[in-house]
Amino acid sequence: MNWNEIYETAKAWTLEAGEILRNATKETVKVEYKTSAADLVTQKDKEIEQFFIDRIATNYPEHFLLGEEGLASDQEYDPNQEIVWIVDPIDGTTNFVHQKRNFAISVGIYEFGNPKIGFVYDPVADELFHAQVGQGAYLNNQLLPRLPQKTLEEANISINQLWLVPNRYVDYTIFTSMIQKARGTRYIGSAALEIAYVASGRLDTYIDFRLSSWDIAGGMVILGEVDGLMKTVDDKDIDVFSPGITYFSNKHVLDEVYQNVNKK
């Protein structure tokens, strides 16, 4: 398998797809509801997923695609087999619609379930976070350093405000002490960017509960290259195909985060 060639091709496609989305922020985009008024999809989500489906079918007909919008669902796909491109065409659709920024294209390429290549591209900021396993992670042309020693007092924690009010996933009171001790809390609204920001030190821990493979597949490759930790709430490695309750973190901060999350 020529991974360098796949990497360069996937990078070019991701940048090209990003340009479509950057231009779309200047147009009127048709918005539909999926499961609720808080769960949006636009014609651009579908167009970008289809863009990857078409290119992969032409160039790598033996590869699979797993995408949020499920447009390639006629494929019979076993996650632990062969090469799969896990694509979120727009991660942060609400931001895309409301803010016209703070969204990303996420692409993770996995072989037999193992991470190989990751891209998280913010087309408005023109920031491409990218990594090939074993070769370091980059923000555009800059190598990202390993994550530095830090304490919770010096950390920015990212958590969806939904988990801080009554909800059906978690007891919302368990985070109080962690949030009080942290330097700050931030939530962007794009899981892929959240993970890429942990990898680049803009955030230190990102916690979420209902993520899917396409939200995290690209970011996990990038964060892995700077020695980040990706753990479930019971301290197991995150399975990209069934994420569960997830912590993406600077490894120096995670123990202290755990100590301050009252798991009961």
DSSP-derived 3-state class of residue 142:
strand
Q: In sequence order, what are the residues at sequence separation of 6 or more whose Cβ sits closer than 8 angstroms to the Cβ of residue 239?
A: none
**91 is an interface residue for Ca ion by CB under 5 A:** yes
Q: Would you say the C-alpha torsion 162, 165, 168, 170 has a positive or negative sign?
A: positive
Report, in Å, the least distance between residue 151 CB and Ca ion.
31
Strand runs labelled E in 56-113: 64-67, 83-91, 104-111
- For Ca ion, the closer of residues 133 and 192 by Cβ is 192
25 class by beta-carbon count within 10 Å (0-12 exposed, 13-18 middle, 19+ buried):
middle
Given candidates 191, 217, 229, 240, which one binds ligand 2AM under the rule CB under 6 A?
A: 191
Report, in Å, the least distance between residue 8 CB and ligand 2AM.
26
Contact 192, 91 (CB under 8 A): yes
Out of Ca ion, ligand 2AM, none, which partner does residue 225 contact, by CB within 5 to 8 A per kind?
Answer: none
**211 is an interface residue for ligand 2AM by CB under 6 A:** yes
**68 is an interface residue for ligand 2AM by CB under 6 A:** yes
| Of 23-31, 70-78, 199-207, 212-220: span binding Ca ion (CB under 5 A) | 212-220
**42 is an interface residue for ligand 2AM by CB under 6 A:** no
- For ligand 2AM, the closer of residues 47 and 91 by Cβ is 91
* Spatial distance between the Cα atoms of 187 and 157, rounded to a whole number of angstroms: 8
- Neighbouring C-alpha atoms within 13 Å toward the C-beta of 85: 33
| Of 78-86, 110-118, 149-157, 206-214: span binding ligand 2AM (CB under 6 A) | 206-214
**243 is an interface residue for ligand 2AM by CB under 6 A:** no
Classify residue 166 by its DSSP letter: S
DSSP strand pairing (127-132 vs 114-122): antiparallel
**92 is an interface residue for ligand 2AM by CB under 6 A:** yes
Which residue, judged by CB position, is nearest to ligand 2AM in the bound state? 191
Binding site for ligand 2AM (CB under 6 A): 39, 68, 88, 91-94, 189-191, 210-212, 215
